[in-house]
């Protein structure tokens, strides 16, 4: 019985996380549309960006050099987000324009 309860709790947590992910992804997409206004690019950016990166994170990363971002001093997970956003930009520009 305890195992079933734990499984139900895990499923509920997973559902909650998927909801948060969907909300973050949708917000990134709508913020991009407001700023850029190019649906193919914004759709690509929505799909290619790291999980919880916001559009604001994207703008910050692509408008600064790694030195300006203090890349070498960032934690590895933040370095991964920076790298992922740079990769997403390159992919989406190539696909959309």
Confirm if 55 and 27 have CB atoms less than 8 A apart: yes
Q: Could you give the CA distance from residue 86 to residue 75 in angstroms, rounded to a whole number? A: 17
Domain around 80? 2-96
pLDDT 10s digits, 24-42: 899 999 999 999 999 999 9
The 3-state secondary structure of 12-31, one letter per residue: HHHHHHHHHHHHHHHHHHHH
Please state the domain count of the chain: 1
Calculate mean pLDDT across residues 6-28: 66
pLDDT 10s digits, 48-95: 999 889 999 999 999 999 999 999 999 999 999 999 999 999 999 999
Q: Which residues contact 79 (CB under 8 A, 6 or more apart)?
A: 71
15 vs 55, higher pLDDT:
55
């Amino acid at each position: 019985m305890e195992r079933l309860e734990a499984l139900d709790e895990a499923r509920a947590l997973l559902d909650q996380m998927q909801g948060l992910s969907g909300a973050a992804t949708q917000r990134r997409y709508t913020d991009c549309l407001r700023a850029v206004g190019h649906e193919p690019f914004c759709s690509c950016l929505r799909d290619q960006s790291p999980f919880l990166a916001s559009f604001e994170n994207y703008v910050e990363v692509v408008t600064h050099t790694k030195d300006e971002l203090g890349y070498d001093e960032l934690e590895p997970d933040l370095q991964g987000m920076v790298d992922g956003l740079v990769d997403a930009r390159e992919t989406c520009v190539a696909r959309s324009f």
